[in-house]
């Protein structure tokens, strides 16, 4: 069935925006890749593909990491590569089983730097209790890379009985967020030194294991989860509103944003809702379980600042709306263009 | 237990040779990555990691592709990315279930070229009957990539009862090869136009599905399989001889090499045994089943030129030896350095 809302890809060339997780990324994904590769698991467009393997539901996902700089406050490319893929499995409702890591190295990259990045990756994997069971290494000529790119893949076992997806979401459901947002993107921006700003801020890169486990144990009826990485909360929630044909209504004053993130965004004309995160997740839960879910998140280590940030309504279908204290409201758009390239 | 034969990685910087599949790659893998990430599935160093997931044996593998040029006689990066990962699953004794594809794009890469490469990837996956169920796209600045790098990951179900590995190999076993070798590496070299040579040759990039199936159905007692990609037959067989502590004795005149590959190698001072392949595999079988295995391969589409190329002996343990017609012999070494960078 042709889908009138599906974007088409006719772009003359690849721009940085195609990697930003906003509207250009969506055009590349839904206008080119999905139509050409079409199959049910892909078309679901989840954080992981869900496969039935001899009666067992497995989650399968991969991500490439091209973050610049390679090391930044609170993390590095190796940590990010582990946490990013683990978190995609976790928010798909899966218990991670194993990871793979594939390295594209630029000739001339220092051996000691590589050792440090692999150590960080190994430590992150050990910390999350998931082994890196294989991988690959390729080398490109000096000038054809940027030191180090890492692609990680992961498989996990989907928790039995769990059904997550935009089709599970109902009007009245509540939207929860695991903690303050925007830290990762702004940290990378500042670490690059291109903006004359300093802030006491670090990346939120972390495994979501304890938070997701606490939530699912308290409230197995969770409807939908997603980690709002590239494109931020705005992209993740716009995808939810469009895929569910429902409205996501955010309560502006409930949104947890740290002062340095808010300050940097105001100065630079950015919307914190469009800034990337690497250690937070969104969850939609039935209204009756919302308080229980929030308590579970807040009681888990690292979830102390979790918040209930909004609810699902029938209309305006397909939109994300932020409501202010004063009765005002604004449409929260997907990211257009790419103000913050290569944040993951 | 410390292993005196394990190489150590103290290299000052990454060189092209670290990506060539020879001795420098081995030093990077076994001297740095394996010690830091150590776990049983990784340490087995197979073409895929073999995992026990709730009593089911799964194969899990990934490869990054940085081939240059992106299109060449007989293939392109998209085809290669599908076949390479599929073949790693197949020679691990697995039936492929699904693939993922992650793209690192350079800003400025033409949209139409991307479409062609994704079409080739989609067609290769359809041709092999395996869906691409997910992936990722990242964009790096112009000058920080080389158009397009693709990383594919795959999972498969290991055939029940199959036990493959260097520890299964016994003196007296025979070594089979699915067809002529060296085509892929020499094709890429010529396609790059850096050598003033022409030849009627194309890459052997193809899925090994029909060949591996035919072999395993005829001879379920197969001991070991591997696709000799980077580093060629020499690297694959040296790994076998070292991991099994046995000798691999090749019969020089039984080695199937096409005339253009032999000619190019003679002119350029290369050993065809060290040249990469993307559509061939090696198998070790018990001596009693060797003829049956060879017949099975030759009877399968694309296996007409399969050959029995050698046998396993007790000594000289850890070495690969090529014996000539005239009673002479030479040690076949792993590739040192990288005469043919970025062939996959």
Q: Which of B113, B180, B120 is nearest to B148 (CA)?
A: B113
Q: Which residues of A touch B160 (CB under 8 A)?
A: none
Structure tokens at A306: 């979790």
Which of B118, B134, B338 is the best substitution to test chain A (most A C-beta atoms within 10 A)? B134
Q: Which residues of A touch B114 (CB under 8 A)?
A: 14, 32
Q: Which residues of B touch A14 (CB under 8 A)?
A: 105-111, 114, 139
Q: Which residues of B touch A17 (CB under 8 A)?
A: 139
Check: CB of residue A188 under 8 Å from CB of residue A343.
Answer: yes
With CB atoms and an 8 Å threshold, state whether B136 touches A62.
yes
Q: Which residues of A touch B115 (CB under 8 A)?
A: 9, 32, 36
Give the gap in angstroms from C-alpha B235 to the nearest C-alpha of chain A: 15
With CB atoms and an 8 Å threshold, state whether B140 touches A146.
yes
CB burial string B17-53: b at 16+ within 10 A, e below: bbbbbbbbbbbbbbbbbbebbebebbebbbbbbbbeb
How do beta strands B247-251 and A307-313 pair?
Answer: unpaired
Check: CB of residue A222 under 8 Å from CB of residue A266.
Answer: no
With CB atoms and an 8 Å threshold, state whether B100 touches A62.
yes
What pLDDT does A38 receive? Answer: 94
Note if the pTM is more than 0.95.
yes
Residue A4 has pLDDT above 90, yes or no: no
pLDDT along chain B (344 residues), means of 10: 70 94 92 95 92 94 97 97 98 98 98 98 98 97 97 97 96 98 96 86 97 98 97 96 97 96 94 97 98 98 98 98 93 88 89
pLDDT band at A165 (very low <50, low <70, confident <90, very high): very high
Percent of chain A with pLDDT over 90: 89
Residue at token pair 């990315």: B81
Over residues B198-231, the pLDDT tens digits come to: 889 999 999 999 999 999 999 999 999 999 999 9
Q: Which of B132, B328, B319, B131 is nearest to B243 (CA)?
A: B319
Residue at token pair 């599935």: B41
Q: Which of A302, A329, A318, A316 is nearest to A244 (CA)?
A: A318
- Global ipTM: 0.96
Question: How far is residue B77 from each of residues A11, A186, B83, B149, B200, measured CA to CA in Å?
Answer: 21, 35, 10, 8, 20
With CB atoms and an 8 Å threshold, state whether A153 touches B41.
no
Q: Which residue among B13, B122, B133 places its CB closest to the CB of A110?
A: B13
How do beta strands A320-323 and A224-226 pair?
Answer: unpaired
Structure tokens at B295: 């017949």
Q: Is B298 exposed, middle or buried (0-12, 13-18, 19+ CB in 10 A)?
A: middle
Q: Which residue among B14, B63, B100 places its CB closest to the CB of A107?
A: B14
- Nearest chain B residue (CA) to A65: B138
């Amino acid at each position: 069935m042709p889908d009138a809302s599906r974007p088409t890809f006719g772009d003359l060339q690849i721009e940085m925006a195609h990697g930003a997780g906003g509207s250009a990324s969506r055009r590349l994904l839904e206008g080119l890749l999905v139509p050409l590769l079409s199959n049910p698991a892909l078309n679901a467009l989840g954080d992981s593909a869900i496969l039935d393997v001899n009666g067992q539901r497995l989650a399968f996902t991969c991500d490439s990491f091209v973050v610049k700089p390679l090391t930044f406050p609170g993390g590095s490319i190796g940590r990010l590569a582990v946490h990013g893929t683990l978190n995609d499995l976790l928010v798909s409702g899966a218990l991670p089983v194993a990871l793979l890591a594939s390295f594209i190295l630029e000739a001339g990259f220092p051996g000691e730097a590589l050792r440090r990045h692999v150590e960080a990756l190994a430590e992150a994997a050990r910390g999350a209790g998931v082994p890196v069971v294989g991988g690959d290494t390729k080398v490109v000529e000096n000038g054809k890379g940027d030191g180090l790119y890492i692609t990680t893949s992961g498989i996990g076992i989907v928790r039995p009985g769990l059904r997550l997806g935009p089709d599970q979401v109902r009007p009245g459901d509540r939207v929860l967020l695991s903690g303050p947002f925007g830290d990762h993107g702004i940290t990378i921006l500042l670490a690059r030194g291109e903006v004359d700003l300093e802030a006491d801020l670090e990346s939120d890169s972390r495994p979501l294991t304890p938070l997701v486990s606490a939530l699912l144990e308290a409230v197995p009826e969770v409807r939908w989860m997603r980690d709002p990485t590239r494109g931020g909360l705005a992209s993740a929630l716009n995808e939810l509103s469009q895929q569910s044909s429902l409205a996501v209504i955010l309560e502006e004053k409930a949104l947890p944003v740290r002062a340095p993130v808010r300050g940097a965004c105001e100065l630079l004309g950015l919307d914190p809702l469009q800034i990337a995160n690497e250690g937070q997740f969104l969850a939609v839960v039935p209204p009756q379980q919302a308080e229980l879910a929030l308590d579970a998140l807040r009681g888990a280590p690292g979830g102390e600042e979790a918040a209930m940030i909004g609810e699902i309504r029938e209309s305006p279908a397909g939109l994300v709306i932020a409501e202010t204290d004063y009765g005002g409201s604004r449409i929260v758009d997907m990211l257009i263009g790419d103000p913050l390239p290569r944040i993951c």
